[in-house]
Structure 1
Amino acid sequence: MKATTMINTVTLSSSTFWHHCTKPISRINLNFKIRASLTNMATKVERAIIVGGGRVGRALQDLGNGDDVLVKRGEPVPVDFVGPILVCTRNDDLEAVLDATPKSRWSDLVFFQNGMLEPWFQSKGLGDADQVLAYFAVSKLGEPPTDGKTDTNPEGLTAAYGKWASAVAARLHAGGLSCKVLEKEPFQKQMLEKLIWICAFMLVGARHPGATVGAVEEEYRSEVSELIAELAAAAAAEKGLVFEDAMEDRLCAYSRAVAHFPTAVKEFKWRNGWFYSLSEKAIAEGKPDPCPLHTAWLKELKIVEGITVT
């Protein structure tokens, strides 16, 4: 859920994180790096390939033992390497990442992106791909990551799924960040909740120019609550699952934790586009739109004019 996206947790981006050679290391950053190094002495952090030299990619590299391989834009992913491949690029760069990765290594890819990736996974034959919901933010160059803990989830929200999930969790724990290892269904529920958060808050915010995430939560709560309920019902019906109670409370708590984030509807294909595709499918089959409010507001903002979701 490029994102930084929330993710958005922010949305993960590909800009450089720590630039050791050209910028002085701040005291807080130095303390973070010393703490991570000391933790790594006692905790084995799996060697990894990290694709993407931006803020998140550099942060993950600094949580390693110094033997990771950093792959930048356009560079091939090594074939003779045992370990996870942590993909920290923009969603629109995923096609290029896959092209640069030997097919024999596809099962080792771990995706840190925000949004709905499942249709893309299926189109590429990736099946049950490893994923991470990264609820930590790397705000700018030279800053250590900030954990996305909230008043409803003080234990932290970051979660990992797949065969390399434990390795990812160990790496994040080395830097004092939280990370849960989840099975498929609990992870899918959390992934969908994060998708609902970004789709609902960004769309409501876009209806009120200049509104931050915090303003949406505080001033337009009734609008976002109605949209959360609608999107949650549509996602539950499509995926055949039941969400845990109090979703709205959890999503609003997260919004308070990142209240300063601006709002805008971006990366339509990977976010709101999935819900709009459910609407298009239902209407084409002569059924009621499962997301009528979502559709109406997309049209009000002229976001779906001329767009065909595939």
Structure 2
Amino acid sequence: MANTASENVNGVLSVNLASICIESLLCGMFDSLTVASIYILHIRTEARRGGRPPLTLPVLVVSGTLLVAVTTHWILSICRLFIGLGGHGSQAAVEYLTECGQPLYVAEVAIVFLCTIVADAVLVFRLWVVWSHNKTVVVPPLAIMVGLVVCSVGGTYTSMEVGHTENDGLTSKVGKWTMSGLICTLCTDLYCSCMIAGKLLRTHRCTERAGASCAVILNWLPIYIESAAFYTAWTLFYAITYGAQSAARYIGAACLPAAAGIACTLINVHIGFDQLPKSEQRQGGMWDRAPQFTTWIPEWVSETYDNTEAQATQSRDSREDAGDKG
């Protein structure tokens, strides 16, 4: 029994130390991506004095919110680790690190939920833009997001009320709120990712039928899939480890804010670096203008789909008329 308890203590301490290392790496990546994204947007704004500036208030608000939240979560994680390890034995450190009622832990829980809500909101907004502002399409993810907000408030409040040590899994109040929030996030991610990818592929087929060049869609689709898959995979990892009450859940929880931030920012930086060197060579064709960053997703995806679909319909009608006359 003593050996088992000792192994459990060492395992929890090792996982918490590993989570700090991984979170520091991801936080550094996110901070770098955010700064690079804002810098690219600033350059593009300076290069397009006469056009619509891509650097808008929503972009700055979302970037700033995620930057402050992710960095604050990282600082709180380091503080908790030093407080837990400083001047205490291994057993006391584990009790502190696994206690749900600690003020710093409650603050971390609130930040995790905040970053998750922001990331899901950005994803839903991208879906809304790509689908030509179709309100019906975004009703399901918005309903799920309401559930996520409820779980966030309930989980944070429950964490403040809990004073005992490590929660006992899905049977506890904290566990129920947390798992419910993770399920809501996974449903939103999968729905929006599939709908956006389907829209892009449908746009690709329509542009091909209309005889237009659409290679940029095929270049953009993997970028989106990579960022969405990273965030979804990390959320799924956290949900599985939390449901199994594995010690690895501490890594999933600690790095979830950074993973959400990277998913929101990576796509903008990737497209920006891909398009910026060619910006002077573009002359304003249908697919020649660079992506706009005002809505965190190229608006020309939905615009071009509508235009090419109309062109394809007109072309079919013309051929049918010509066949009737012949």
Q: TM-score, normalised by structure 2?
A: 0.24
More helix by share: 2
Between structure 1 and structure 2, the one with the greater Rg is 2
More strand by share: 1
